[in-house]
Structure 1
Amino acid sequence: MLDSIFVVLSPIFFVLAIGYFAGRAKQFDSTQTSGLNELVLDYALPASLFVGTSSTSRDRLLQ
């Protein structure tokens, strides 16, 4: 079970780390940052969680 949680959450943490380091390097201004945040929270994160949940077996979800 721990391995499936890691598989689902690792891309999210990877993108967060990339965003953090891009922000520290001043690669985006405030309007670009708000647009990227909206994209991630409205589309990418729910899609990632859906794919992770749908690829997990029913028995594992019921545990």
Structure 2
Amino acid sequence: MFHYWFKQYDEGSEFGIDGGRISKLMLKRNGEIVCNYDRGWDVQPVDEDTQFAYEILVHTENF
């Protein structure tokens, strides 16, 4: 199970993921950060499950 947090704006920006509305995103699993974007990548998705969770959030919330 993942826990997530993100900061989202009404419109996309140069700081957003792929120019989208999410400028900050953190995914945690078992208390460990497995993906972190803070106006740029700090921790890219660490495995396939994390990548899938990330893609769901970006697909539904970023544009």
TM-score (norm 1): 0.33
Q: Which has the higher helix share?
A: 1
- Greater RCO (Cα-Cα under 8 Å, separation 6 or more): 1
Q: Counting strand residues as a fraction of each chain, which structure ranks higher?
A: 2
